[in-house]
Amino acid sequence: MPLKVAFYLGLFLLTHQSCLALTIVPENMDITFPGIYLSGRGQNAVSNPTHSQLYVVRFYVDGEPGRKITVTVPNNQYLNHDKSSRKIKVRRIFYGCGLSKRGRAKINSNGRSKLLCIGAKIRIGAKFPAGSYSGTIPFEVNYR
């Protein structure tokens, strides 16, 4: 069963410099880690926008044309096992598609960014129980 992490949206952010809100326009708000992961051996699971846009979070941002934006994900995020208290830590966040490696982009002249993507890397420990792991990981979009 693929591991999945859901990023939530609902971010309408205002800055003190502008009255125009940033609006997230979702295309896919789930990260899936494709492949088969066997219990009993440690392994990494990666969903990276550089390799495939299919398994990563994909969205656009509407805002003030020409303005630069930054996308950030807070540190220390976890996926929870569906039947136990075990957690898998998100080891790394990947920014891609129209985002720089630091999560920066620009709103185009039509008021919408290019397609923006977020992926992740997790480490599945050898003693982690089989099953489904999921979680909600917030992200934030702000004008720079």
- For 112, which DSSP code? B
More confident residue, 8 or 120: 120
- Global pTM reads 0.84
What CA–CA distances, in Å, run from 28 to 38, 101, 112?
A: 27, 20, 17
pLDDT for 52-80, tens place per residue?
A: 889 999 999 999 999 999 999 999 999 99
Give the span between the Cα atoms of 86 and 113, in whole angstroms: 38
pLDDT of residue 8: 43
pLDDT of residue 19: 56
Give the span between the Cα atoms of 59 and 24, in whole angstroms: 7
pLDDT for 76-108, tens place per residue?
A: 999 999 999 999 999 999 999 999 999 999 999
pLDDT of residue 40: 84
Segments forming the whole domain that contains residue 57: 3-143
Q: How many residues does the chain have?
A: 144
* Nearest residue to 61 via CA among 119, 26, 113: 113
Cβ neighbours around 135 below 10 Å, total: 17
112's tokens: 């919408």
**Helix, coil or strand: residue 28:** strand
Give the span between the Cα atoms of 35 and 55, in whole angstroms: 11
Q: How many domains does the chain have?
A: 1
Q: What's the CATH code of the domain at 53?
A: 2.60.40
Only one residue has tokens 């792991």, namely 133
